[in-house]
Amino acid sequence: MERKKQKRKAFTLIELLVVIIIISMLAAFTAPKLFQYVGKSKRDLAKPKLALVEGAIERFALDCGQYPDDSVGLEALLIAPTGLEEKWLGPYLKRSQLLDSWGNPIIYVAEGEINPGSFDLISLGADGTEGGEDDAEDIFND
């Protein structure tokens, strides 16, 4: 009996496993670099977000003749504080703009320690707690 040569029409299991292993190795080497860039991007965006909130506070101060106090904080940019309803021309920002790059609330300090004679805006970084390094480093307004 004569056997006819058959053409291969599919990959073997070994070939598929080799390809999967190669793709997995490439992903293992490139994924940490990609996540590093994501963290750096969030850090880089934190300063402009603080500058946006700082500008809204300045507009509030121009309209109302004073900066928000600590008891009201950044809520004064969203809702008119008691006694300032006539002067208040807000809202000055959206609620989502009061969050830093990591989704944590931006902290407002009326009597600034970093900026004496003015106010401080603070992003606590990726960990949401004071202190830290790299992505967890605290970021302040200038």
Give the pLDDT confidence of 98-118 residue by residue, as tens digits.
Answer: 999 889 999 999 888 888 888
Binned at pLDDT 50, 70 and 90, residue 121 comes out as very high
**Residue 64 placed within a domain:** yes
**Residue 16 placed within a domain:** no
Q: Which two tokens stand for residue 67?
A: 């900066």
- Which element (helix H / strand E) includes 31? helix 13-64
More confident residue, 141 or 4: 141
**Residue 2 placed within a domain:** no
- Looking at residue 6, its pLDDT comes to 65
Provide the number of structural domains found in the chain. Answer: 1
114/4 Cα distance (integer angstroms): 84
Dump pLDDT digits (tens) for 56-78: 999 999 999 999 988 889 999 99
**Residue 4 placed within a domain:** no
Q: Is it the case that residue 8 has pLDDT exceeding 90?
A: no
- The residue type found at 140 is F
Residue 102: give the domain boundaries.
39-140
In this structure, what CATH number is given to the domain that contains residue 43?
Answer: 3.30.700.10
What letter would DSSP give residue 60?
H
Model pTM score: 0.70
- The residue type found at 129 is T
**Residue 24 placed within a domain:** no
**Residue 130 placed within a domain:** yes
DSSP strand pairing (120-123 vs 139-140): antiparallel
**Residue 73 placed within a domain:** yes
- Looking at residue 13, its pLDDT comes to 87
Strands, E assignment, the chain: 107-109, 120-123, 139-140
- Looking at residue 60, its pLDDT comes to 94
126/137 Cα distance (integer angstroms): 8
Average pLDDT of 4-26? 83
**Residue 3 placed within a domain:** no
Q: Is it the case that residue 1 has pLDDT exceeding 80?
A: no
Average pLDDT of 25-29? 87
- Looking at residue 5, its pLDDT comes to 65
